[in-house]
Amino acid sequence: MNKLDLCKKAIDATTYSYSPYSNCKVGAALLTKSGKVYTGCNIENASFSATICAERVAFSKAVSEGEKDFEAIAVVGKIDNNIKVFTPCGVCRQVMTEFCDGDFKIFVVTGENSFNEYTLSQLLPNSFALKEK
Ligand code: THU
């Protein structure tokens, strides 16, 4: 799957964002090493701390179906249907660290046909982990 197609799946994944409190629609598309894509959107809650980010929804869907090997994730945020640059939050970076190596790729969508590319080790250097990878 090419990078821009993964970004487009993240944009599509904003469709079902449940975000009545922030009005930020976030979408994520997580690519496994075997080529499958799991999407996610943010799901907010009146008790704000119960909100779950789009990235963690995608990881939860994938891990709960037995996936363990991940290649890349694309993430997009939209406010009033305009793309805003939403780089994954710290909690999501930590969740990525649980399942991914430092070279895991993160595409932050910046427009309909553009994105910034990072590795997980760039976004969360010297990360905390308990298990050997
Ligand atoms: N959000 C995500 O979905 N992913 C992130 O990495 C950062 C924030 C969501 C949570 C909340 O629903 C909204 O964006 C505003 O914080």
Q: Convert the pLDDT of each residue in 15-72 to its tens digit.
A: 999 999 999 999 999 999 999 999 999 999 999 999 999 999 999 999 999 999 999 9
Q: What are phi and psi of 73, to 5 degrees?
A: -135, 140
Sequence ranges of the domains in the chain: 3-123
Count of beta carbons in the 10 Å neighbourhood of residue 23: 11
Closest of 100, 97, 95 to residue 125, by C-alpha: 97
Q: Which two tokens stand for residue 59?
A: 């990881």
The reply to whether 44 belongs to the active site is no
- The residue written with tokens 């399942």 in the block is 99
What CATH fold (topology level) applies to the domain 3-123?
A: Cytidine Deaminase; domain 2 (3.40.140)
Percentage of the chain modeled with pLDDT above 90: 97
Amino acid symbol at 114:
S
Atom from ligand 1 closest to the CA of residue 42: 3
For residue 53, the CA-to-ligand 1 centroid distance in Å is: 5
Question: Looking at ligand 1, which residue's alpha carbon is closest to its atom 10?
Answer: 53
- β-pair partners for 78: 25, 83
